[in-house]
Structure 1
Amino acid sequence: MQRIAVLLFPGFQMMSLAAISAFEFTNLELDEQVYDITYLSESGGPVPGSFGVTVETSRFDDPAFDTLLVSGAVGIKLPTAQESDFIRNALAASRRVASICTGAFLLAEAGVLDGRRATTHWLLARELQSRYPKIKIEEDRIFIIDGSVWSSAGMTAGVDLALAMVEKDHGADVARAVARKLVVYHRRAGGQSQFSALLELEPKSDRIQKALAHARSNLKNTLSVEELAEAAHLSPRQFSRTFRAETGQSPAKAVENLRLEAARLMMEQGRHPIDVVAAETGFADRERMRRAFLRAFGQPPQVIRRNAQREYQA
């Protein structure tokens, strides 16, 4: 049985606890208690969270758990001297130490992120980098594994991190079954963007939203302005004008971003040949997709796939 400790402190962000569901449902899926969860704090006893819920904790002492998960806060929370000591000791005594959201600030203050790659909530990633220049912050990541230290982006990304741990411990089939029961996407790849191309566009009208939904569901199509305008029930001229006014982008640029998002996910999570990925996401050929990847990510598709595989195998 793997013992997982969750480090809490007054004002911990409630969403941090959502990650625990992945371990709970793994126990249910395997019909045995493969994970045991312990909630810890510096003083023990009841610890109030960020939204009125209190969790009963044990006082931390022995750091020899399989995994230590450090919860995040609504803003920046720095550890006490005792918390820092416990985190540092856990790095030596545990198989892995992880932060959820702004829990990365506690790991950073304890010095366990020095020289490592890490991420946190995108709103505070640059602040983390500014305060701790020895860390290699990658602000647009869902989660990062650097040796025995894991870190996740904000809020729901903690669930992705926990599912990745389940997959590492018990295989992809178990993680996939747990994700289905949690009604979440099966383990967004660590390298996937914290942002969604659709969310960034933020269209205001139902018609433009329908056009974008049509585009995302039909990436293999040409997706000309005429096709998108028909989905929006507008003339091509009116559609182009309205689309740019609502999103700040041209339809062609928005479609390319949707294709890039889908193609990067396929590259990171699958073993499809590059030609297949290009065809499925509407790039038509691998060279066109390669040029789009270089413009958007500064790396060709093969490098992104290799980095994702190397990270998961670490």
Structure 2
Amino acid sequence: MPEPVALPRPRLRVGIIPARRFTLAALANFIDVLRLAADEGDRSRPILCSWRLIAPTLEPVESSCGVAVEPEERLGDPRRFDYVVVAGGLIGGAQQVGSEVTAFLQAAAAAKVPLIGLCTGAFILHRAGLMQGYRCCVSWFHRQDFLDEFEGLIPISDQVFVVDRDRLTCSGGASTAHLAAFLVDRHIGRAAARKSLSIMIMDEAVAAERPQPGLPLDLTASDPLVKRALLWMQQTQDTPLPVSRLAERLGVSRRKLERHFKAALGMTPADAGLRIRLAQVRALLERDGRSVTDIAAETGFCDSSHLIRVFRTVEGVTPEVWRQDRKTRATRLSKTV
């Protein structure tokens, strides 16, 4: 019987720690990019890169949706990896990692192993004292949670991921795939990164500086009622509710809702809702080639004429002129890099 052929050492070796109640989609997106880049076709052999789920014990770790994963190895020596990843999820006590994980992350940092925070993994790295002096990415959805917990620290919530020397953080969701593609591009090659994203039905790699879709940064609020209202607006952009109906859904009077918005944000609920929808319009104009008519329907405007009129009032130009201007600036920037 012929001797088995020894595989070369992977160019990219990643150890991943799933925190209790981690976000399954964020972890799966990250791993699948590595998996698809690791081998020819879709055979999933860890040849060009490898990934291992690690934890203090081999007991299953439950995700935020209830699906559990089983670690493959105990923590051990972090130097066997090129990167150590911590995958976060739900905020609060259930997400806390134990002292063994904290010590492992600190040992990895001391050994100069780069650390990655997926989703709310940035919170875990900060709690371990490993983000001082580093910029970090936090989803707009958890921005206020971060500000409440880490006084004096301002996260970056207008990018999908942030690379600051040997600390890499991302906002979660699909952004974890783009962060993984960044690693694949760096260690294996751009073609492998593009292949992974293409198989995952993602058109192209997204640069770290790409804005997060979601709430404008000036609309974060600590007022619980305003936060609930903003999230409702975010989730119903295509069919925005009148303020009176929104107040009814939230179980308060219109006057009370308007009073809370005035105190928290200095604007009316209607103005906040329009700002959210226009932020989504800008994201769609910048991200893809959809028509203004389609974007108007997706963001709750009566028709393209209505969107053009409102957009020009706010931006001073039409949506198409704004889109072309962004493309021109991006082209100029790429030529200077």
TM value normalised by structure 2: 0.63
1:11 is matched with 21
SS of alignment partner, residue 52 of structure 2 = strand
Counterpart-to-counterpart distance in 2, 1:89 and 1:159: 26
- Which residue, out of 87, 91, 116, partners 2:109? 91
What residue is the counterpart of 2:77 in the other structure?
62
Q: 1:45 pairs with 33, 48, 59, which one?
A: 59
Q: 1:134, 1:204 → 2: CA distance?
A: 38
How many corresponding residue pairs?
Answer: 252
Is 1:164 aligned to residue 182 of structure 2? Answer: yes
- Give percent identity, aligned residues only: 20
**In the TM superposition, what is the alpha-carbon distance from 1:47 to its structure 2 partner?**
1.6
Change (3 A) 1:263 1:117: farther
Deviation at 1:66, TM superposition (A): 1.0
CA contact (8 A) 1:10 1:47 kept: yes
Distance 2:103 2:327 in 1: 38
- Provide the C-alpha distance between the structure 2 equivalents of 1:60 and 1:187, rounded to a whole number of angstroms: 31
Task: Measure the CA separation in 2 of the matches of 1:29 and 1:263.
Answer: 40
Unaligned runs of 5+ residues in structure 1 are: 206-211, 233-237, 274-301, 310-314
Partners of 1:43 and 1:59 within 8 A in 2:
yes
State whether structure 2 residue 90 is matched by structure 1 residue 74: yes
Aligned to 2:164: 146
Q: Report deviation, 1:218.
A: 7.6
8 A Cα contact 2:20 2:96, kept in partner: no
The alpha-carbon distance between structure 1 residues 124 and 56, as it changes in their structure 2 partners (threshold 3 A), is same
Structure 2 contact 17–54 (Cα < 8 Å) conserved = yes
Is 1:121 the counterpart of 2:139? The answer is: yes
Change (3 A) 1:171 1:50: same
The alignment partner of 2:13 has SS state of strand
Matched-pair contact (CA < 8 Å) for 1:9–1:47: yes
Contact 1:4 1:37 in 2 (8 A): yes
* Residue pairs, 1:261-300, within 5 angstroms: 264=326, 272-273=331-332
Query: Pick from 21, 34, 37: which aligns with 1:23?
Result: 34
- C-alpha RMSD over aligned residues: 3.8
Name structure 2 gaps, 5 residues minimum: 1-9, 216-232, 241-280
TM-score normalized by the length of structure 1: 0.67
Distance between the aligned counterparts of 1:193 and 1:116, measured in 2?
19
Q: 1:26 to 1:113 in 2, by over 3 A?
A: same
How far residue 183 of structure 1 moved from its aligned partner, in angstroms, is 1.1
Alignment partners' CA distance in 2, 1:184 and 1:27? 18
Q: Distance in 2 between matches of 1:196 and 1:262?
A: 22
- CA 1:264 to 1:98, structure 2 compared with 1: closer, same or farther past 3 Å? farther
